[in-house]
Amino acid sequence: MTDKEKIIKYLDNKGVSKNKFYKKTGFSVGFLDSGSSLGVDKLRIIIDNYPDFNPSWLLSRGKEEMLLSGNKIEKPVSGVIGECQECEKLKEKISMLEQQLLESKNETIRAYQSNENNNNNKEESKGRNSA
């Protein structure tokens, strides 16, 4: 059974039509019916959209389960809340670093422009003095 045939079997097991699958993943209509391999990028999209799909099932030649058990894919609520709080802290840190980077960039531009102006003034002075 090819990887794409296994995906079709998974969809049948879940009661998901191919069209619904195409809409959810953004794959072109007929993707599952042409060729046999998926590619890592497509597999990642499938895993993101169908979290109970067990990617090891594709590689195991039937030795692994098609679906991940609830214990493997669910996180405790407290873990999710902790992650959200950590994400907010990281977003704030990123925003602060972006601001610092912008300020540093602007300072560098001002210093360069000031240096450029000083060089132009020196050249003008040399021109007047030699005349």
In the block, tokens 């422009």 appear at: 113
Q: What is the pLDDT of residue 76?
A: 41
- Give the whole-angstrom CA distance, residue 101 versus residue 111: 15
**CB-side neighbour CA atoms (13 Å) of 39:** 7
What are the tokens at 88? 């907010």
Q: Which of 50, 67, 47 lies closest to 16, judged by CA?
A: 50
Each of the 131 residues of the chain gets a pLDDT tens digit; together they read 888 988 999 999 999 999 999 999 999 999 999 887 888 899 999 999 998 888 888 887 767 888 887 534 334 444 555 556 777 777 888 888 888 878 888 788 888 788 777 777 777 776 666 65
Task: Using CA atoms of 39, 42, 45, 50 in order, give the dihedral in degrees to the nearest 10.
Answer: -90
Residue type, 58: L
